[in-house]
Amino acid sequence: MKIALLGYGKMGHEVERIALAKGHEIVVTIDNDQEWIERAELLKKAEVAIEFSQPDQAFNNISRCFDLHLPIVVGTTAWYDRLDEVKKRCLEEKQSLFYAPNFSIGMNMVFRMNKELARFAEKYGYSVSLAETHHIHKLDKPSGTAAKLANDIIAESSRYQCWSINEPYPADTLPIEVTREGEVFGIHSVTAQSDADRITLTHEAFSREGLAQGALAAATFLMGKVGVFTMEDLF
C-alpha cells in the first residue's frame, strides 16, 4: 500500500516502522497545516491515509481526505462529538472511513469479554468500576478505550445511566479512575464486585506496536471498500 501518515508523533513513527517492515510505502507524512499545503502533491500518490494526530485536528484531517476521496483510518479519539456528521458525509459521498477507539487486536478481544462481563454483572447484581492508566502526554480523559468499555457496560445495565471520572459518584454513575503517569502505554481494568467475590478484566499494552499492527490491518481491509467500518467489521 501507498500510505499517507497524518500525525507524525510517536504513533505515526510506530506505524511507519511497522509499515516499512511489511513492505508498504510511506508516500508522505503530514503533521500540521503548513505541511498540508507544502505536501499536497505527495498526498495525491497515497492509496490510504492513517491518522493518529490530536483531537482538535482529527475532524479537519478526515474532511480533507474526504475532499480528495482518500480512504482514511482514524486512530485519534475525543472527536466523536462530530462522528455523526462524519458518518453522514461518508455515506452520502460514498467515502471510506475506518475508525476505532483502540486498534489493538488484544484490546478488541477485551471489548468482547467486557460485554459478556457486563451482562453477567447485570444478571447477578455485581457493581462495576473501571480504571485506566496512560502516559503523562495523553490529552483525553478518560481514554477513548475506557469510554467505550464504559458505554458498553451501560448498554447492558439497568443500574448505570452514565459514567464519570469525578468523585463523588452517584449510585447511577459508573466510576472511571484515571491516572496519568510516566510513559505507560496503556492499562485498562474492569472490575465487577459482589459481597462474595471480585472479577477483574485487565489489558496492558507493552508498546505501541499492537496499535500500529491493527491500524495497518484496518488499512488493508479498507482498500476497495466504501462506507464506515470499525474493528467489528475487521473481525
SS (H, E, C) 111-168: HHHHHHHHHHHHHHCCEEEEEEEECCCCCCCCCHHHHHHHHHHHHCCCCCCEEECCCC
Mean pLDDT of successive 10-residue stretches along the chain, which has 235 residues:
96 97 98 95 96 95 97 94 97 98 94 97 98 93 94 97 96 97 96 98 95 96 97 92
Tell whether domain 2-103+209-234 is in CATH 3.40.50.720. yes
**Where are the domain boundaries for CATH 3.40.50.720 in the chain?**
2-103+209-234
Closest listed residue to residue 96, CA positions, set 235, 4, 234, 221: 221
> Which CATH number does 105-204 carry?
3.30.360.10
Separation between Cα atoms, residue 58 and residue 32, nearest integer Å:
11
Query: Strand, coil or helix: what is 50?
Result: strand
Under a CB-based contact definition with an 8 Å cutoff, are residues 74 and 215 in contact? Answer: no
**Where are the domain boundaries for CATH 3.30.360.10 in the chain?**
105-204
C-beta contacts of 169-177 below 8 A and 24+ residues apart: 174/128, 174/129, 174/130, 174/150, 175/129, 175/130, 176/129, 176/130, 176/131, 176/132, 176/142, 176/146, 176/150, 177/129, 177/130, 177/131, 177/132
Look at residue 222 in the predicted model and tell me its pLDDT. Answer: 97
Give catalytic residue positions. Answer: 134, 138
Look at residue 139 in the predicted model and tell me its pLDDT. Answer: 83
